[in-house]
Amino acid sequence: MHDTDITVPLLAITDLHLSIAGREVLRGIDLTIDAGETHVLLGPNGSGKTTLFNTLVGLPGYEVTQGSVAFKGENLLALTIDERARLGVGVAFQRPPAVRGVRLRQVMEVAAGGALEAGTLDAIAGELAVAPMLERDVNLGFSGGEAKRSEMAQLLAQQPELALFDEPESGVDLDNIAVVGGAIAHLLKGDRASERPRAGLIITHTGHILQYVNADVGHVLFDGRLACEGNPLDLIDDIVSHGYEGCVECAACRQ
């Protein structure tokens, strides 16, 4: 038995139009993510990827002019940032802000919804090598790799049903990409059969992270619209060969 209605998709974005200061940035996005699916959102700089991410997070400054976003059947757009998080949306920021006086351990605890069992904390700290950072002010003076590992540690503590990742590989060296990618795979696919797989939406400009995470579906966001959908690795091959413009022009997607 499932405790959720399987006929309702986990995330359903329908005809989403969105403006920033009067300028339309997203022009009709339709995207459905079911429980357990990993989606990848590709797209050139300025195509609206981060705008979509921030809108799903709930950050202010974005005006939805049309369309809807439903998460587990609820109107996500009507919820505050923290309500979304408690409902099961987790986020890993590209450049998380430093918060003086608030330690990584505290943020992991609040993300977990209270106390974090010592065993769980140790396991996460070990997997992401964040043990020396637990008592540091979160993101204060963290290197690029440390910041990404810290974001992943917080998500592993939170265990959201849907995790959103904004450019998880940007500004990170290869060793750290492997650690971060491994943690994403662990979060989304689960270690044990008993763990319910979680859904993910990974925003990536380069696609490097896909060496570590198996994604089910790829989308290309171009000029405010989802222009292509397909196997993520195929899409990346096309983009590498033909650039984003060429990829969007291809026959398969134009049909």
Partner 1 sequence: MPTVDEILLTDEQRARLAEIEEAAQAAADKPAALGPDVDVARFRTVSERDRVASLASIERQIRETALMSGFVSDESERSASYFQLDRTPIYERVSEAFGGQVEVMSTADALARYPDEMLAKWWWRAVDPAKDKYTALVALHQTEGYFIRVKAGAKVEKPIQACLFVSESDVSQNVHNIIVLEEGAEANVITGCNIATDVHQGLHAGISEFYVGAGASLTFTMVHNWAEEFSVRPRTGVIIEDDATYINNYVLLKPVKSIQAFPVARCEGARSRAVFNSIVYGLADSHIDLGSETQLIGEGSRSEAVARVVSTDRSAVYSRGRLIARTDECTAHLDCRGIVQSAESTQWAIPDLASEGAPGAELSHEAAISPIAEEEVYYLMSRGVPHDEAVSMITRGFLDLEIPGLPLALRRQIDAAIAATAEHAM
Q: Which residues bind partner 1 (CB under 8 A)?
A: 57-59, 80-82, 85-86, 91, 93, 96-102, 106-107, 110-111, 113, 137, 154, 158
- CB of 98 or CB of 123, closer to partner 1: 98
What is the smallest separation between the CB atom of 85 and partner 1, expressed in angstroms?
4
- CB of 58 or CB of 224, closer to partner 1: 58
- CB of 149 or CB of 227, closer to partner 1: 149
Q: Is the Cβ–Cβ distance between 231 and 55 less than 8 Å?
A: no
Q: Is the Cβ–Cβ distance between 40 and 218 less than 8 Å?
A: yes
- CB of 12 or CB of 92, closer to partner 1: 92
- CB of 104 or CB of 236, closer to partner 1: 104
Cβ burial, residue 1 (10 Å; 0-12/13-18/19+): exposed
- Encoded tokens for 231: 């196997």
Task: Write the CA distances from 105 to 83, 100, 140, 214, 239, integer angstroms.
Answer: 21, 13, 13, 29, 40
- CB of 20 or CB of 99, closer to partner 1: 99
- 22: region left, alpha or beta (phi > 0 left; psi from -120 to 50 alpha): left
What is the smallest separation between the CB atom of 107 and partner 1, expressed in angstroms?
6
**Dmax over Cα atoms in the chain, in whole Å?**
54
What is the smallest separation between the CB atom of 148 and partner 1, expressed in angstroms?
15
- Encoded tokens for 161: 């049903």
Report how far residue 239's alpha carbon sits from residue 249's, in angstroms, rounded to the nearest whole number: 11
Hey, which residues does 221 pair with through a beta bridge?
226
What is the smallest separation between the CB atom of 111 and partner 1, expressed in angstroms?
4
- Encoded tokens for 78: 């009507």
> CA angle, corner 73, sides to 168 and 66, nearest 5?
75
What is the smallest separation between the CB atom of 201 and partner 1, expressed in angstroms?
15
- Encoded tokens for 11: 């995330």
What is the smallest separation between the CB atom of 29 and partner 1, expressed in angstroms?
21
- CB of 90 or CB of 145, closer to partner 1: 90
What is the smallest separation between the CB atom of 132 and partner 1, expressed in angstroms?
18
In the numeric block, the tokens 């949306």 are attached to: 89
